Chains A and B, each alone.
Chain A
Amino acid sequence: MNALITHRVLFTGLSLALIFAIAISILSGSVDIGLQEALNILAHSWASDDALMLSDDMQIKQAVLVQIRLPRIALAMITGLTLAVSGTVMQGLFRNPLADPGLMGISAGCAFGAALFAVLGANWLATMGGISSVWALPMAAFLGGLVSTWLVFFLGRSGQRTDVATMLLAGIAINVIATAGTSALKFVADDQALRGVVFWLMGNLGSTPWDRLLWVAPVQLASVVAMLFYAPTLNAFLLGEAEAQHLGYNVERSKRILILLVALSVGLSVSLAGVIGFVGLVVPHLLRRVVGADHRVLLPASAILGAVLVLLADWLSRTLLAPTEIPVGILMALTGGPFFIWLLLTTRYRFTR
């Protein structure tokens, strides 16, 4: 294990980066809020709920900070850590450097679910009443992701075994089918409904209020924490499935549980925040280069770096052309893509080093 830097340096650096990213996210936006004001507001909101003591102007700022920026920051962080940890798990599980959460058809399935809802479901919902559309679109996306992941998983099974190579191919096929389905819907749909969904799919961290976040985030967090416990298993997987089996790990069961956890957490993440690519691919590669392939370090480090990256991307997306927002998914792909190529060209590291 020839890590470039010690774990203490790594985690200190990552924590500082996280604090920096949170700070600039808190302080940037259309409404001017200074550092002093932000601290006052936070202290105030923490201590008590007597907003009466704040001036009108400060009340607006408090609302902006607490109801808009903080949930957005929380969602960015949770999306980033979910995608990065899932990406690391997928690469370890598939022993394939190309694996990322999108591979299981989750993103494409979510996109199809959302598009299907936007084209066909909106009218149906109008007649049903009841469910608010605020919930319905994420739910449709989640169901789409669930169905496609189940299909990939089902196709990847041969007898009692789960064959990762077959699953990889099945994932590609399901991805193609779901993407074609989405394109077909785009073709028949009228413009307005679709524009909304297309924008939403390109990454959207700005429209999830606390109540929705508080329902979904705990499930995501719990899945991610559960994945962290599988670090030793993933280390054993690097030697090969048969070897892991000989070392005493229940390979079949671990595979099934990890895939379920990835599907659940990424499905929820896409449902809330849209498709944000590249985090799950770039983060594990970058970290493996710095700290080696030990998942006990790799997984928690991925979590923090993922959160930092999505926070920074979101910060860029809303400040570059403010008040117009550039969809964060586009930004992530535009910066992540070249970075990934640079990484490939400058390092000839071995995947299982």
Chain B
Amino acid sequence: MIITRIHEIFGLDKIGQALFSGLAFFISATCFAQVSVIDDLGREIRLEKPAQRIVCLAPHNTENLFTAGAGGQIVGTVDHSDYPEQALDIPRVGNYKQVNIEAVLGLKPDLIIAWSSGNTNESVERLIDLGIPVFYSEPHTFEEIINNIERLALLSGRLEDATPRLEGMRRTFRDLKTEYSGKKLLKIFYQVWDQPLITLNGEHSVSHAFKLCSGINIFADEPTIAPRINIEGVIAKNPQLILLAGHSVTQAASWIDTWSEWSSIDAVSSGQIKNIDADVMNRPTLRFLEGTRQLCEIIQSARLGTER
């Protein structure tokens, strides 16, 4: 309204009007947009204006900021931030375990995105003490990943931009849920290492993905998050699908040999041993959602394979 009135007063033409309204939006976005969100540890983060110089302390944070549309506002990140490709050009401030505080300060950040279960909390607390706003990101489920990206978009002033993408993600999630819920449950063994055999328990986000696809992690109830188990335990649980989450295809290929002689396992006798990209499944990002879609497809084809 104000804009139209100004336009009347100054008698601007169409282009001028467009420019002016753009300027007005810019001013309102920068001057009046005090943002406030709650992070994953329940702390309130209040910014006078959207963050323009962001430092990420974990690879998944970098990825999620790019998804939020704020990739260009990242001024520093940590090692292994390799996705998307533009992330490789961002200056590094150490790795997620060992952050160089002076390097972070040198970048003059107005927001830091931390990872409480990965970062050394002492160094993050030093940064908080120095007065820099810190947002702790700790997503595990799909809802949490999407909410995380939404709050990152809000903090970086990109919410409007990100809304369609967020909607798309919510839709993908809903579609997967409706498509696969109620399907016949499939017993899955998820292998992350071969010598010794290591798997993941029900707390890991991979198990959330299984649930969405109507799969059951046969070792969901083990006490540690990455339990070491033996081949006999797998034989006794008799999975219908074995997923090899190797680092590379060659590595996973060598793991198949371990199984070939155990045809008493349903997954082996019906040939349901599949590779899966571990990187995608390990980071709580948009790619995890995409990975889950592929996972559901693999599980579905195994389901059809065992029914035959």
Contacts of A67 in B (CB 8 A): 261
Contacts of A200 in B (CB 8 A): 195-196
Please, which residue of chain A has its CB at the minimum distance from the CB of B229?
A323
Taking a contact as CB atoms under 8 Å apart, the answer to whether B228 and A133 are in contact is no
Taking a contact as CB atoms under 8 Å apart, the answer to whether B196 and A30 are in contact is no
Taking a contact as CB atoms under 8 Å apart, the answer to whether B236 and A199 are in contact is no
Q: With A60-B235, A190-B80, A195-B193 in contact, do A324 and B248 touch (Cβ < 8 Å)?
A: no
The verdict on A122 contacting chain B, using a C-beta distance below 8 Å, is yes
Contacts of B237 in A (CB 8 A): 30, 323
Bound form: Cα–Cα A137–B193 in Å: 13
Bound form: Cα–Cα A87–B251 in Å: 37
Cβ contacts A123-152/B at 8 Å (1 or 0 each): 100100000111001000000000000000
Please, which residue of chain A has its CB at the minimum distance from the CB of B192?
A192
Within 8 A of B (CB), among A154-204: 187, 190, 192-193, 195-196, 199-200, 204
Bound form: Cα–Cα A242–B226 in Å: 55
Taking a contact as CB atoms under 8 Å apart, the answer to whether A30 and B236 are in contact is yes
Bound form: Cα–Cα A67–B264 in Å: 13
The verdict on A206 contacting chain B, using a C-beta distance below 8 Å, is yes
Taking a contact as CB atoms under 8 Å apart, the answer to whether B230 and A325 are in contact is yes
The verdict on A207 contacting chain B, using a C-beta distance below 8 Å, is yes
The verdict on A29 contacting chain B, using a C-beta distance below 8 Å, is yes
The verdict on A318 contacting chain B, using a C-beta distance below 8 Å, is yes
Q: Which of B29-37, B131-139, B217-225 contacts A (4 or more CB under 8 A)?
A: B217-225
Number of interface residues of A (CB under 8 A): 36
Cβ contacts A102-140/B at 8 Å (1 or 0 each): 000000000000000000001100100000111001000
The verdict on A335 contacting chain B, using a C-beta distance below 8 Å, is no
Contacts of B233 in A (CB 8 A): 30, 322-323
The verdict on B247 contacting chain A, using a C-beta distance below 8 Å, is yes
Cβ contacts B278-292/A at 8 Å (1 or 0 each): 100010000000000
The distance from the CB of A204 to the nearest CB of chain B, in whole angstroms, is: 5
Taking a contact as CB atoms under 8 Å apart, the answer to whether A196 and B193 are in contact is yes
Taking a contact as CB atoms under 8 Å apart, the answer to whether B230 and A68 are in contact is yes
Bound form: Cα–Cα A64–B247 in Å: 29
Query: Which of B231, B248, B251, B254 is the one whose CB lies under 8 Å from A68?
Result: B231
Taking a contact as CB atoms under 8 Å apart, the answer to whether B227 and A324 are in contact is yes
The distance from the CB of B242 to the nearest CB of chain A, in whole angstroms, is: 15
The contact sample of 18 A-B pairs, CB cut-off 8 A, is A30-B235, A63-B262, A64-B232, A68-B230, A68-B232, A126-B250, A192-B192, A192-B247, A192-B278, A195-B198, A199-B193, A206-B230, A207-B194, A207-B196, A321-B222, A324-B222, A324-B227, A324-B229
